[in-house]
Amino acid sequence: MNDGEFGGQYVPQELKKELDLIEKNFKEAMEDKEFLKKYEYYLKQYVGRPSPLYYAENFTKFCGGAKIYLKREDLNHTGAHKINNAIGQVLLAKKMNKTHIIAETGAGQHGLATATVCSLFKIKCTIFMGKVDIEKQKVNVDKMKLLGAEVKSVTRGQGTLADAVDEAFEYLLEHKDVFYLIGSAVGPAPYPEMVKQFQTVIGREAKQQILEQEGKLPKAMIACIGGGSNSIGLFHDFIGENVDIYGIEGAGKGLKTGKHASSIYQGKIGILHGMKTYVMQDENHKLQEAYSISSGLDYPGIGPEHAFLHEMGRGKYDSITDDEAIEAFKILTLEEGIIPALESSHAVAYAIKIAKKYHKEDCIIVNLSGRGDKDVDTIFVY
């Protein structure tokens, strides 16, 4: 996909050399049948793919509109879509003879996936995580430590996801043996393209599965967005089809309160973490703080391919408040016996909003990007 003005490499020259080397090796890997065979082996035998595409009959009746299917990324090993990308990037790091993996994490799902694959492949692992997120996601932090990862608390700024990314990039500049395993479709090139590539398995499977079950394509698909890896992974195979695409950011306490995580809402383009994209910033281009009850969505930017899809009008980007996400979390849990991650609950909430726009014989795919056991304590204290 041509991202137009978005993306790029807005980084120091010494980091650009490392990024160009990663890009070279990534392109080689995508043409290497043995690399791809190994990647697919681990997706099937270790991750447990393909993940099901489940017709949520009770939830469909509750919504009162189109048939709703859930792409069950929550059933992957480690409980989210993040493992798809972690497997791909750690294989690439091994190809490059790297001996130390670093990663950032917000909700902890990417940190958990990274710690898991580093344990599997016996590579040193360091996870950068904001102090606020460490407090909110204790279960995932404990799992990372059990897996042998060092979890570094980031106290700068807000102590959330964006600050963890900053810290990880600084560490990368200072340590040449390190491979930075970015968890979302963000950052300087080639990371957005690379993460997308390792997540497109979601959309490829969903397309085949919906055709097998319904004999036709969905009318719409919905996925939550922090940086946007689960969503671009789902959307990619459908961009050229006549399918409505909805990317859902966190509206937090309300867009007009300033306590939100919707970079699209303000429509301001800037530089964040080495890429040009939509960024939450004030009139002086100062980065604004992002907020969402969901640790995985409180990122003050969006992946460059999503920025491009928004600008071209191919995707509709909207947002859901904390209250709406909490309510959707509870509804799906009670209606289907499926506890969704708070991130995914934003997409579930949007499905509730738009289901009646479509006919009952139509279908919608909602990406259930992760499971919600990590968020149960948050739900009870909210």
Structure tokens at 72: 């069950």
Same topology between domain 13-44+82-195 and domain 48-79+200-381: yes
Quote the DSSP letter at residue 188.
Answer: S
Q: Is the CB of residue 306 less than 8 Å from the CB of residue 30?
A: no
In whole angstroms, give the CA distance from residue 277 to residue 230: 18
CA end-to-end distance (rounded Å), the chain: 40
Model confidence over 178-218: pLDDT tens digits?
999 999 999 999 999 999 999 999 999 999 999 999 999 99
- What's the pLDDT tens digit per position in 298-326? 999 999 999 999 999 999 999 999 999 99
Q: In sequence order, which residues have a C-beta less than 8 Å from that of residue 363 and are 6 or more positions away?
A: 66, 67, 68, 69, 210, 214, 216, 218, 219
Yes or no: say if 54 and 332 are a contact pair by the CB < 8 Å rule: no
Dihedral angle sign, alpha carbons of residues 232, 236, 240, 246: negative
Q: How many CB atoms lie within 10 A of CB 44?
A: 11
CATH label, 48-79+200-381, candidates 1.20.1560.10, 3.90.550.10, 3.40.50.1100, 3.40.50.300: 3.40.50.1100
- What CA–CA distance (Å, rounded) separates 306 from 309? 5
Cβ partners under 8 Å of residue 153, min gap 6: 129, 130, 131, 134, 159
Measured distance CA(130)–CA(153) in Å, rounded: 6
- pLDDT tens digits, one per residue of 335-360: 999 999 999 999 999 999 999 999 99
What does the chain come to in residues? 382
The average confidence (pLDDT) of the chain is: 96
Q: How sure is the predictor about 176, in pLDDT bands with cuts at 50, 70 and 90?
A: confident
Token pair listed for 60: 């469909």
pLDDT band per the 50, 70, 90 thresholds, residue 2: low
| Residues annotated as catalytic (active site), given as ranges | 82, 104, 369
- 275 with 282: CB under 8 angstroms? no
Q: What's the whole-number mean pLDDT along residues 221-225?
A: 98
pLDDT in the model for residue 3: 63
The sheet with strand 316-321 has its strands ordered as 53-55, 67-72, 363-368, 220-224, 244-252, 316-321
Are residues 121 and 94 in contact, defined by beta-carbon separation less than 8 angstroms? yes
Q: What is the share, in percent, of the chain residues with pLDDT greater than 70?
A: 99
Sign of CA pseudo-dihedral 273, 274, 280, 282: positive
Q: So what's the pLDDT on residue 381?
A: 86
Q: What is the DSSP letter of 7?
A: B
- Per-residue pLDDT band at 107 (split at 50, 70, 90): confident
CA atoms within 13 A on the CB side of 145: 11
- Domain boundaries defined on the chain: 13-44+82-195, 48-79+200-381
| Residue recorded with tokens 């950052």 | 187
Q: What is the CATH number of domain 13-44+82-195?
A: 3.40.50.1100
* pLDDT computed for residue 4 by the predictor: 67
